[in-house]
Structures are given as structure tokens and as C-alpha cells.
A and B are shown apart, each in its own frame.
Chain A
Amino acid sequence: MRTDMLHKTINELMEMMPWIEDYFSSFSIDPEKLGDSKLEELGTILGENYFEENGGSYNTFIDGFFLFIEQVRALQQDSGFTVNSLKVLPGKNKNGEKETFSVELKKGEVTAIVGPTGSGKSRLLADIESLAQEDTPTGRRILIDGRSPGDEERFSTEGRFIAQLSQNMNFVMDLSVEDFLTLHAESRMVDEVSHIVRKIYDTANILAGEPFSMETPVTELSGGQSRALMIADTALLSPASVVLIDEIENAGVDKVKSLELLVSNNKIVLISTHDPLLALSADQRIVIKNGGISKLLKTTDDEKTHLESLEKIDRKITLMRDQLRTGEEIDLSDLVM
């Protein structure tokens, strides 16, 4: 492949792989100006000084060219690396006492993590993120689809395997919703960019209480709208197969629908929460105590039957919050339960 590519002109390469422009641009090479030149001729045409000015040499430029192609091909193929289940094998709590059972997290299921602040919820999330192999303070081991991942696999995931969402996250790019989503879709090498952009936008608008337009700068979205856009984007465009959520309770998004969206896109969802509605929407909940997993509770049928009334209460509270915000009088007439 290497020799073939070297013989091709820049125009031919651009035809085959339009995204290669992204790599050329890192050496300030304009493909239009050099369209008829062959890749192998660039060294002589531009000269070694040119490459040095751009922080490399002709050789590093060529090596990088092929590495970049490999990276992009990997991006195109992987929808992350798809994981069906994760298993957390017992480690130890802060007193050195062994955890007594393992926990399985399955694709399309939500697991809530509950426990007081400082109890070790983040440590568990960190173990999962690093695919711990008895080499973290807790001594836990994480299995992917029933087996231990090799070092190579652990390090090569480069964070693509886990997506994170938390209350502290904000958009920082100075772009409209449409441009922002387009940029993300392009960097993910998806085929139908405008289609997926539309889909994420529509979904986010369903999740957000208040609608927003494609032209709104992402930095001007309200808290709820931002959260909704982040959730829709993660569900529909992120390659990660595991989503870690840290507290989204008061974000002004439809919480239950958000979780449904994530699991319907085959994600393994973990949510650290104290919100009864979220915790009971989960399939199971892990109770953390003193740094260790102390209990695993399956959401009972009884709990599930009460979900509906919980949702009603939640909606009522949201409504009251909105009434407060907009300066209306609060309607308490239907508060009797």
C-alpha cells in the first residue's frame, strides 16, 4: 500500500480520502496548490527546510501520513470497541476487607451507584475507566465480555471506550449548535453528516424542556439545553460503549427519557445519583460503603410499580420550579397525595 500511495498525486489521494486534507493542513500544505504533484515528490518540491519550519522532516511527514490513515480507518470501523458486558470482580474496601461478590454490567442496562459523598463512588468509576487488573488501590479486576483485557488493549482504548457526563461540564467552543455537531460528526468520520446532525438536534430538543435553534451558539444554551445536547450527542455519536454519568438530577432535562435514549443505543450506563427517580429507573443499584461495594440491589417489581407516581411527583416539582422561575404563583392545589 505504501508504494502505491507514494506514486499517487495529491489530487488522487484527496479523491480517495477527502479527510486526508486534515493531515496535510497540519503541515500547512494546501492540496489545491500541489494537486498534480505526487506524494513522493513533496520532499523535493517543498524542500527539507519547509518541513522543518513546520516542526518535522519529510520522513516524519510521510510516516505520520500513513499513521494518520490507520487512525482514521480505525475510527471508521470501530463504533468504539463494542462491549456487551463488564464484570467487576471483588476487591477490598478501605479497611482491607474483601468485597464478597462481583457485579455484572450489561449492554442496554442502567446501573445506579449510591452511597455517601467520599464513600468511593469515584474510585469505582475510575476502576472501570482504567479497566483495573488488581493494580489499583481497590485491587478490583474488570472483565470485558468475560475476559481480562491485555495491557495493549487497555492502553489503546485512549478513553474512547468510556464517555462521561457530569453537571460540571460546559461547552467551550465558539460555534453554533449546527456547526458544533457537524465538527464532531466529521471528526468521527460518519458518512451522512447532515443526517446525524439533524437527528441529534431533534433528539436534544425532545429531552430539553425549552426548545433551541440550530443557530444558537452552544455557549449560550441554558443548563438544561446543554445537558440535553450532550446526552443526545453522546448517545448517537460517541463511539464509547460505556457511559458514566455523575449527577444530572437538577439539570432541567427529561431524566427518564435520557436514560432510555442511552440504553436504546446499546450503551452500558452507570449513574452516580441520589435521585430516587433515577435510582429506581435503573435496573440495579450498587451500594458503596467505606470504599467497597457492600450491596447490589435489583430494582424490585414493587419499586417499579411506584415509578409512575415518582415521575408524577418529579414533574410536579419541575413545574413548581418553572413557576418560581417565571414569577408565577405556585399552584399547590393538586399536591395532596
Chain B
Amino acid sequence: MRLVTVAGPPSSGKTSVIVKTIEELRNKGFKVGVVKFDCLSAQDEEVYSAYSIQVRTGLSGGLCPDHFFVSNIEEALSWAKEKQFDFLITESAGLCNRCSPHIKDILAICVIDNLSGVNTPKKIGPMLKLADIVVITKGDIVSQAEREVFAYRVRQVNPGGMIVHINGVTGQGSFYLAKIVEQCSSVETLQGETLRFTMPGALCSYCLGERKIGDDRQIGVSKLVNFRGED
């Protein structure tokens, strides 16, 4: 099974990019499935189904979405193997901007859009920083200059990654991505593989359902800020 992890901020165009890339892969005779990881709800299943793409959704609900991803990725892989796909693409929204579902030696893609502003690349952490490929979308509605500045800003945080520009509406550029995806290597199991980045520690009373605010309620790992500073 060739596995690809796709992550990116909400509304950056992940689903469109994946759909267009799958169309390219299918033209070459490959079978591709998608697993969508999300928090509260996901409407993308309908989108995928409209393109006759087989999809499964996992909603993390009250759990940290990235921890949830790690716990379930092996099961996703098993589903894909059972369905005898050539490729499994996972889609997840990087909601806290810190996490990334990227795994060592597994092709990692981050989708980010030109409209999100030039300072956004710096705000998105490992999800962008540690991706092999950075897909930049919505280039058709901003100026050439902004596209170039934005790409430079992406370079700044991820100098080693490859940048691919894709128009999610027409699919222009997805051909490139499909070509690269096609070259990625196969994996049988993820047992023993390593995440590219540590997940945030989640071991405090609030993880366990505490809702009251207060020093005496705060048990476990926490971090305090001094907003008043020294001045």
C-alpha cells in the first residue's frame, strides 16, 4: 500500500486537491481510497462519493485530533489493504497549527492557500515545516506577485520541501502532484514507524473532562505565562 498523508488548515482546498489528484491517478489505472480525519463533522464524504471515490471518515469528537489520527492510522491502512487499493490518502485538518500527522518515510503533503495571508506560513508549525510537498492553492485569484511572495514565505519555513501550485477548481497542477505521488514507496504496516514530530502533551485534568476554571482544578501537565512581564 502506498500511503500519503495530506494535512492543511480548514478551507485551504485539501479535498479538491485530493479529488483532482485521484482523478489523475485513476486515469493511469490505479485504485485509490481516502480516509478523512476530522473533529466534529465532515461533509467531505459526499464530495468524494460524488466522484465515486471510496472514503471512510473518523471523527475525533472529544479527543485531540492528532492523537486520534495516530491511534487509527493502522486501522485505516488495514481497510485500504482489504479493499486492495494501490494508494491510501489520509486527509486531516491541522486545527491547532502545531501538530502534523506526518510520519517518517511516508509521503507528507501540506495544503495551504494564497488567500491565507503572507504571515500564515510562519504561523503553521510542523505540518508545513516538515512536509515533503507543499501544495499552494487559490493562485488563480491573487496576483502573480503575491503568488511569488507567498511561495518565498513558504520557502522560509520549509526550504527543503517541494512546492506545487494547484488550482483546485480546474485541477491545473494536480497532474504534477499525481506524478510525485505515484513514485512514493509502499508500506505494509506502520507498526514501529516514527512520527516526524512529537504531539503536544495532553495529560491534565481538562483532558479528563474537567470544566471548572481554577488553580485547584488544574492537575497534571500545564504551562503558565507571565503576561504582566517585567516592565
Chain A residues in contact with chain B, CB under 8 A? 22-23, 25-26, 52, 54-56, 60, 63-65, 67-68, 70-71, 75, 122, 125-126, 129-130, 135-137, 151, 154-156, 158-160, 163-166, 168-173, 180-181, 183-184, 187-188, 226, 229-230, 233-234, 237-240
Partner of A180, one of B139, B145, B180: B145
Chain A interface, >50% SS class: helix
A23 to B155, CA, bound (A): 9
Partner of A158, one of B114, B130, B163: B163
Decide: A158 and B151 in contact? CB cutoff 8 A.
Answer: yes
A166 to B70, CA, bound (A): 43
Decide: B118 and A159 in contact? CB cutoff 8 A.
Answer: no
Within 8 A of A (CB), among B134-163: 139-149, 151-153, 155-160, 162-163
Chain B residues in contact with chain A, CB under 8 A? 27, 98, 114-115, 117-118, 122, 125-126, 129-130, 139-149, 151-153, 155-160, 162-165, 170, 172-173, 175-176, 179-180, 197-198
Partner of B126, one of A55, A154, A165, A233: A55
A65 to B158, CA, bound (A): 10
Decide: A169 and B140 in contact? CB cutoff 8 A.
Answer: yes
Q: Which residues of A contact B143 (CB under 8 A)?
A: 169-171, 226, 229-230, 233
A52 to B99, CA, bound (A): 12
Supply 25 A–B pairs (Cβ within 8 Å), ascending by A: A25-B122, A52-B198, A55-B98, A56-B129, A56-B130, A64-B160, A67-B159, A67-B160, A68-B159, A71-B159, A129-B172, A136-B175, A155-B176, A158-B163, A159-B164, A164-B139, A172-B141, A183-B118, A187-B153, A230-B144, A233-B143, A234-B144, A237-B145, A238-B148, A240-B144
Decide: B162 and A233 in contact? CB cutoff 8 A.
Answer: no
CB distance from A127 to the nearest CB of B (A): 9
Decide: A159 and B179 in contact? CB cutoff 8 A.
Answer: no
Partner of B129, one of A25, A55, A122: A55
Closest A residue to B197 by beta carbon equals A55
Decide: A171 and B163 in contact? CB cutoff 8 A.
Answer: no
Q: Which residues of A contact B114 (CB under 8 A)?
A: 172
Decide: B159 and A23 in contact? CB cutoff 8 A.
Answer: yes
Given the contacts A55-B125, A55-B129, A159-B147, A168 and B159 also touching, CB distance less than 8 Å: no
Decide: A171 and B176 in contact? CB cutoff 8 A.
Answer: no
Closest B residue to A137 by beta carbon equals B27
Closest A residue to B100 by beta carbon equals A55
A234 to B145, CA, bound (A): 7
CB distance from B199 to the nearest CB of A (A): 12
Decide: B141 and A168 in contact? CB cutoff 8 A.
Answer: yes
A93 to B135, CA, bound (A): 30
Decide: B142 and A170 in contact? CB cutoff 8 A.
Answer: yes
Decide: B140 and A164 in contact? CB cutoff 8 A.
Answer: yes
Decide: B145 and A130 in contact? CB cutoff 8 A.
Answer: no
Decide: B173 and A130 in contact? CB cutoff 8 A.
Answer: yes
Decide: A25 and B156 in contact? CB cutoff 8 A.
Answer: yes
Sorted nearest first, the 5 A-B pairs with minimum C-beta distance are A67-B159, A55-B125, A187-B152, A68-B159, A55-B126
Closest B residue to A166 by beta carbon equals B140
Decide: B130 and A60 in contact? CB cutoff 8 A.
Answer: yes
Decide: B172 and A171 in contact? CB cutoff 8 A.
Answer: no
Q: Which residues of B contact A67 (CB under 8 A)?
A: 159-160
Q: A56-B126, A170-B141 are in contact. List 16 more A-B contacts (CB 8 A).
A: A22-B156, A25-B156, A55-B125, A158-B151, A159-B165, A160-B148, A164-B139, A165-B144, A169-B143, A172-B114, A172-B141, A173-B146, A173-B149, A183-B149, A233-B143, A238-B144
Decide: A173 and B118 in contact? CB cutoff 8 A.
Answer: yes
CB distance from A55 to the nearest CB of B (A): 4
**Max chain A C-beta neighbours (<10 A), residue from B118, B126, B156, B165:** B156
Decide: B145 and A184 in contact? CB cutoff 8 A.
Answer: yes
Decide: B180 and A155 in contact? CB cutoff 8 A.
Answer: yes
A115 to B173, CA, bound (A): 23
Q: Which residues of B contact A160 (CB under 8 A)?
A: 148
Closest A residue to B27 by beta carbon equals A137
Given the contacts A164-B140, A184-B149, A158 and B172 also touching, CB distance less than 8 Å: no
A239 to B20, CA, bound (A): 28
A109 to B144, CA, bound (A): 21
Decide: B130 and A169 in contact? CB cutoff 8 A.
Answer: no
Decide: B148 and A184 in contact? CB cutoff 8 A.
Answer: yes
CB distance from B100 to the nearest CB of A (A): 8
Q: Which residues of A contact B152 (CB under 8 A)?
A: 75, 187-188
A159 to B136, CA, bound (A): 10
A65 to B117, CA, bound (A): 24
**Max chain A C-beta neighbours (<10 A), residue from B143, B170, B172, B173:** B143
